[in-house]
Structure 1
Amino acid sequence: MEWLNSLFVEHSVIQAVIVISLVSAVGLALGKISIWGVSLGVTFVFFAGIMAGHFGLTIDPQMLNYAESFGLIIFVYALGLQVGPGFFSSLGKGGLKLNILAMVVVALGVMLTLGFHWTTGVSLPDMVGILSGAVTNTPALGAAQQTLKQMGDPTMTPSDIALGCAVAYPLGVVGVILAVIFVRKLFASNIFFKKSNDDKHKKTIVVGLNVSNPGVEGKTIKDIARMASKRFVISRLWRDGKVVIPASDTVVQLGDRLLVIITESDVDALSGMIGERDTTDWNQEDIDWNAVDNQLVSHRIVITRPDINGKRLGTLRLRNEFGINVTRIYRAGIVLLPTPDLVLQLGDRLNVVGEEAAIARVGEAVGDAVKDLDEPNLVAVFIGMVFGLLLGSIPLAIPGISFPVKLGLAGGPIIMGILVGAFGPRIHMITYTTISANLMLRALGLSMYLACLGLDAGTHFFETVFRPEGALWVALGFAITVVPVVLVAAVAIKWMKIDFGSVAGMLCGSMSNPMALNYVNTTVDNDSPSVAYATVYPLTMFVRVILAQVILMLFL
Structure 2
Amino acid sequence: MSGVALGTAALSLAGALGLLLGGLSWRGVGLGIGGVLFAGIFVGHLASVAGLKFDGAMIEFIREFGLILFVFTIGIQVGPGFFSTLQKSGLQLNLIAAAIVALGVLVTLGLHALTSVPVPALVGLMSGAVTNTPGLGAATQVLKDIGADTATLSQPGLGYAVAYPFGILGILTSMLLVRAVLKIRIEAEEAAFDATRARGAAELPSLNLRVRNPNLDGLRLGEVPDLYDAGVVVSRLRKGDELLHPTRDTVLNLGDVLHLVGPAPKLHAMELILGERAESALTTTKGTRLTWERIAVTEKKALGRHIRDFGLEAHNVTISRVMRAGTEVPADGALTLQFGDILTVVGGKEEIAAARPLFGNQAKSLENVQFSAVFIGIVLGVLVGSVPILVPGLPAPLKLGLAGGPLVVAIVLSRIGFLGPFVFFMPPVANHALRELGIVLFLAAVGLKAGDSFLATLIHGDGLVWMLYGAIITLVPLLIVGFAARMVWKVNYLSLSGVLAGSMTDPPALAFANAMAPNSAAQSIGYAAVYPLVMCLRILAPQVLVLLLM
Query: TM over 0.5: same fold?
Result: yes
Corresponding position of 1:547: 541
User: Which residue of structure 2 aligns with residue 396 of structure 1?
Assistant: 389
Give me the whole-angstrom Cα distance separating, in 1, the residues matched to 2:55 and 2:289. 69
Mapped contact 1:309–1:346 kept (Cα < 8 A): yes
Alignment of 1:250-261 (within 5 A): 250-261=250-261
8 Å Cα contact 1:201-1:264 kept in structure 2: no
Percent identity, aligned pairs only, is 37
List alignment gaps of at least 5 residues for structure 2.
none
Cα distance, 1:257–1:227 mapped onto 2, change above 3 Å? closer
Confirm whether residue 412 of structure 1 aligns to residue 393 of structure 2.
no
Give the whole-Å Cα distance in 2 for the aligned partners of 1:184 and 1:264.
Answer: 34
In structure 2, the residue matched to 1:285 is none
Kindly report which structure 2 residues correspond to 1:14-163, keeping only aligned pairs within 5 A, or say none. 14-56=5-47, 59-154=54-149, 157-163=152-158
Q: Is the 8 A contact 1:144 1:549 kept in 2?
A: yes
**Partner deviation per Cα, 1:108-146 (whole Å, 9 max, x = no partner):** 000001111211222222111011011111111111111
- Matches of 1:351 and 1:51 in 2, distance apart? 53
For residues 266 and 472 of structure 2, the distance between their equivalents in structure 1, rounded to whole angstroms, comes to: 43
Measured in 2, the distance between the counterparts of 1:251 and 1:132 equals 63
TM-score (norm 2): 0.90
Alpha-carbon distance, 1:17 to partner? 2.3
Once residues 388 and 325 of structure 2 are traced to their aligned partners in structure 1, the CA distance between those partners, rounded to angstroms, is 35
Distance 1:428 1:535 in 2: 31
Residues 234/17 of structure 1: CA separation in 2 closer, same or farther (3 Å cut) = same
8 Å contact from structure 2 (residues 231, 331) kept in 1? no
The structure-2 alpha-carbon separation of the partners of 1:503 and 1:217, relative to structure 1 and needing over 3 Å to count, comes to farther
Deviation at 1:345, TM superposition (A): 0.8
Equivalent residue number for residue 205 of structure 1: 205
Amino acid at match of 2:162: V
State the partner residue of 1:244.
Answer: 244
Q: Does 1:306 align with 2:297?
A: no
Counterparts of 1:216 and 1:426 in 2: how far apart (Å)?
A: 45
Q: Where in structure 2 are the equivalents of 1:336-355 lying within 5 Å?
A: 336-355=329-348
Summarize deviations over 1:187-234 as a string: whole Å, max 9, x none: 335866522848945622344444456565555545556289973322
* Amino acid of the structure 2 residue aligned with 1:401: L
Task: Say which is worse superposed, 263-272 or 28-37, in terms of deviation.
Answer: 263-272
Residue 165 of structure 1 deviates from its aligned partner by: 0.6
Q: Which residues in structure 2 correspond to 1:395-544 (within 5 Å)?
A: 395-425=388-418, 429-467=422-460, 469-524=462-517, 525-544=519-538
Asked whether the 8 Å contact 1:228–1:270 carries over to 2, the reply is no
Counterpart amino acid of residue 31 in structure 1:
G
Paired residues for 1:272-421 under 5 Å:
274-276=275-277, 278=279, 291=286, 293-318=287-312, 320-421=313-414
- Please give the alpha-carbon distance, in whole angstroms, between the structure 2 residues aligned to 1:426 and 1:501: 40
CA distance 1:204–1:553, change in 2 (3 Å):
same
**What secondary structure does 1:326 align onto?**
strand
Task: Name the aligned partner's letter for residue 501 of structure 2.
Answer: C
Separation in 2, partners of 1:68, 1:376: 23
The alpha-carbon deviation at position 324 of structure 1 amounts to 1.0
TM score, norm. by length of structure 1: 0.89
Structure 1 residues 56 and 197: CA distance shift in structure 2, 3 A: same
Shift of 1:414: 1.1
SS in 1 for 2:382: helix
Deviation at 1:153, TM superposition (A): 3.7
Contact kept, 8 Å, 2:370 with 2:422, in 1: the verdict is no
Q: Is the 8 A contact 1:208 1:277 kept in 2?
A: yes
Pairwise CA RMSD: 2.7
Contact kept, 8 Å, 2:291 with 2:348, in 1: the verdict is yes
CA distance 1:225–1:516, change in 2 (3 Å): farther
Count of aligned pairs between the two proteins: 539
Q: Deviation per CA, 1:84-130, whole angstroms, max 9, x where unpaired?
A: 22222222344222222221111100000111121122222211101
Q: Residue by residue, what CA displacement relative to the aligned partner does 1:355-393 show, whole Å, maximum 9, x if unpaired? A: 111111121121111112322111111111111111122
